[in-house]
Structure 1
Amino acid sequence: MDLVSLNTLGLRSCAKAMTRYRTASQLPELSDICRGYPAVFVLGGGSNVVLESLLESLVIKVESTGVGVHSETDAEIIVEAHAGESWHAFVSGCVDRGWNGLENLALIPGTVGAAPVQNIGAYGVELDQRFHSLVAWDMHEARMVDMDAADCRFSYRNSFFKQAAPGRWLILKVRFQLPKQWHPSLDYPDLRRHPALQRAASSVTPRQVFDAVCEIRRQKLPDPAVLGNAGSFFKNPIVTLAQYESIKATAPEMVAYPQDGGLYKLAAGWLIDRAGWKGRRVGAVGVHERQALVLVNYGGATAHDIKRLAESIRADVMNRFGVLLEQEPVPVS
């Protein structure tokens, strides 16, 4: 099965076997099928993966759809979405319906089911701040499980699902806890400076925040349909005060954000840019000219090409700054 069109990096990749999940009636059979393969990989929108040229794993392509209200009180609404829904389309639909609180997460590629795996976040909002619960299928035990935020063990771009055995858990539905008394999250510098939001001032609406986030992302990030990419390729590293002060001494303009416990989160894009990688091309792959965090496929690249570029960047940043960059997209073989 050709997977080139099923991963946003556009890497040349094929799967030995693939099946599609659409409805819960398939689940018992899916568990039986999985026992016949050495490994299983759950594929959503393909936006956060680096696929090897040939996958030995059974690929389960998630294509379930549906959005609705799970429950509601005077203070909040719990919205439930099936895992195969496009994340951006889901966020856009929520704004249309007046279900507010997810607008800062607009235009992130991928599916609803993949969002809690990565604990996605952008422009001052993290998914776990809006998360209520999810329903997952345990492939090994062939049973459905409800999981709350504590069960999911969210941390920065991480969750229980990233640590669990690959292919064991199939997320079926995700629920989001959205307040009826909405307040905009505009702490992120790009949003504070956005002209439309400045003009609106205290009367800013969720739609205006949504539109501003989309505009900013489109200015900074390439469209995967035009230029293959997986969004941010590296996590923003968190360092000690000593590391922060050491780098700051030679680079006063360094971008950093204080964290709990006296730690600092550095901007990985700044480190990569400062190391001279922004806009550089190496064969079929390169670093995007407007956003140093984004590695791109100019056409015909494989996982080997991307991994070689990523390792060169990591080694250079480590040599210059003593900071280890961690890859965001999941390698799949």
Structure 2
Amino acid sequence: MLIETDVNLKPYNTFGLPAVARRLVRIREAADVRRVVDHPDLGLAPKFVLGGGSNLVLTRDVDAVVLKVEIPGIRLLEARDDAWIVEAGAGVAWHDLVSWTLDHGYPGLENMALIPGTVGAAPVQNIGAYGIEVKDRLEAVEVMDLITGRPALLPAEVCRFGYRDSVFKHSDFGGLAGKSVITRVRFRLPRPWQPVLGYLEIERKMAETGITAPDARQVYGWICAVRRAKLPDPAVIGNAGSFFKNPVVTAEQCRDIIGRDPGIVHYPMGDGSVKLAAGWMIDACGWKGKTVGGAAVYDKQALVLVNKGDARGAEVVTLARAIQESVYGRFGIRLEPEPVVV
């Protein structure tokens, strides 16, 4: 277990925002969590779990003990008749896991290619893209209790997954936020594999290429091309990916909005509700390219806020709140941020 003091967190959040961790512990195996719990100084101190920092807006220094999860490793745990069970360490980069599964012949995660962050953070946020969410592919989550230091294996059905939500994001009513650390994640990749193709960008790629029955590698390539064309690389310009959730409304609410804004992009859901494109609404309100200090709305995709190079967390928050008020004023919809603000 490695303990560091006064650590600059700018390299550890994809927004590149300045902040300092008073104490940081690198968690490189599950046993390190138990060592933290048993430590005379760290055990009772507040904890802050940090993965890839891709879903984080830092507005201040962090006094809590930062647990930087860096647990490595990917392996095929089991090959069933109906699925491959793949296990990955919480510190593995998410995209590296997606690539590994395809390289080894275990498709099923390709629609979520190039999502930034780590494997351990994926269930917390229930990440998803192009018709697939982590909950659709999750078998179980291995956690370590931050009070007792004991391990537990949680099946998917107890994780209370919702749209960009899970039991790991809440501290009340049995939530596990601040009470546990995800150390490993098991994925269930269905056999036989079936492509998920119901999104406009994928349909365009099918039309362009003439491929109507793509394999997993082709879908992966299309998703990577689409994301690279419209989303900035955090290694080049700081960002946290999509900053706002796509709001879900009733069919009646959607009809009302369409009556006022016929062009709004929307996606009917299986339960009768409708998902609205937050990026379209932000763009319609004229925010693309606008700035507050060093923070800006990305000029190619209004759903993404970026760091022009010297932004502070407070500027990102100010810009986000101004966008929320603008969208609410026009559409009557209150956008909800995806990143955690600290």
**TM tier, smaller:** over 0.9
The 2-side partners of 1:261 and 1:219 are apart by 32
Deviation larger for 163-172 or 291-300? 163-172
SS of 1:193's equivalent in the other structure is helix
The 2-side partners of 1:196 and 1:13 are apart by 46
Letter in 2 for 1:169: S
Measure how far apart 1:196 and its partner are.
Answer: 7.8
Alpha-carbon contact 1:22-1:63 (below 8 Å) kept: yes
Question: Deviations along 1:74-117, whole A, 9 cap, x unmatched?
Answer: 22110000100010011001100001000000000000000000
Alignment-derived partner of residue 185 in structure 1: 196
Aligned residue pairs total 330
Q: 2:43 aligns with which of 6, 10, 35?
A: 35
The 1-side partners of 2:150 and 2:31 are apart by 12
Measure how far apart 1:27 and its partner are.
Answer: 2.5
Measure how far apart 1:25 and its partner are.
Answer: 2.6
- Whose RCO is larger (CA < 8 A, sep 6+)? 1
Does 2:157 match 1:147? Answer: no
Question: Deviations along 1:187-246, whole A, 9 cap, x unmatched?
Answer: 1110111158742222x2211111110010000100001110000000011123332222
Shift in CA distance, 205/315, structure 1 to aligned 2, threshold 3 Å: same
Alpha-carbon contact 2:167-2:177 (below 8 Å) kept: no
SS of 2:212's equivalent in the other structure is helix
SS of 1:246's equivalent in the other structure is helix
Alignment-derived partner of residue 4 in structure 2: none
The 2-side partners of 1:197 and 1:68 are apart by 36
The 1-side partners of 2:258 and 2:178 are apart by 42
The 2-side partners of 1:6 and 1:197 are apart by 39
Alignment-derived partner of residue 90 in structure 1: 97
Q: What 5-or-longer segments of structure 2 have no aligned partner?
A: 1-6
Q: 1:54 aligns with which of 52, 61, 73?
A: 61
Cα-Cα RMSD = 1.4
Q: Could you state the TM-score of these two structures normalised by the residue count of structure 2?
A: 0.93
The 1-side partners of 2:314 and 2:292 are apart by 12
The 5-angstrom pairing of residues 94-243 of structure 1 reads 94-164=101-171, 166-195=177-206, 198-202=209-213, 204-243=214-253
Measure how far apart 1:24 and its partner are.
Answer: 2.4
The 5-angstrom pairing of residues 76-87 of structure 1 reads 76-87=83-94
Measure how far apart 1:313 and its partner are.
Answer: 0.3
Alpha-carbon contact 2:18-2:312 (below 8 Å) kept: yes
Letter in 2 for 1:90: L
Alpha-carbon contact 1:22-1:64 (below 8 Å) kept: yes
Letter in 1 for 2:51: G
Q: What 5-or-longer segments of structure 1 have no aligned partner?
A: none
SS of 2:210's equivalent in the other structure is helix
Measure how far apart 1:260 and its partner are.
Answer: 4.8
Deviation larger for 89-98 or 232-241? 232-241
The 2-side partners of 1:244 and 1:181 are apart by 36
Measure how far apart 1:301 and its partner are.
Answer: 1.2
Alpha-carbon contact 1:13-1:302 (below 8 Å) kept: no
Alpha-carbon contact 1:119-1:155 (below 8 Å) kept: yes
Deviation larger for 162-171 or 127-136? 162-171
The 2-side partners of 1:159 and 1:197 are apart by 37
Alpha-carbon contact 2:14-2:54 (below 8 Å) kept: yes
Q: Could you state the TM-score of these two structures normalised by the residue count of structure 1?
A: 0.96
Letter in 1 for 2:50: L
Question: Deviations along 1:14-37, whole A, 9 cap, x unmatched?
Answer: 111111000123232111344342
Shift in CA distance, 251/196, structure 1 to aligned 2, threshold 3 Å: closer
Does 2:334 match 1:324? Answer: yes
SS of 1:200's equivalent in the other structure is coil
The 5-angstrom pairing of residues 302-321 of structure 1 reads 302-321=312-331
Letter in 2 for 1:275: C
Identity %: 47
The 1-side partners of 2:258 and 2:211 are apart by 36
Letter in 2 for 1:28: R
Does 2:311 match 1:301? Answer: yes
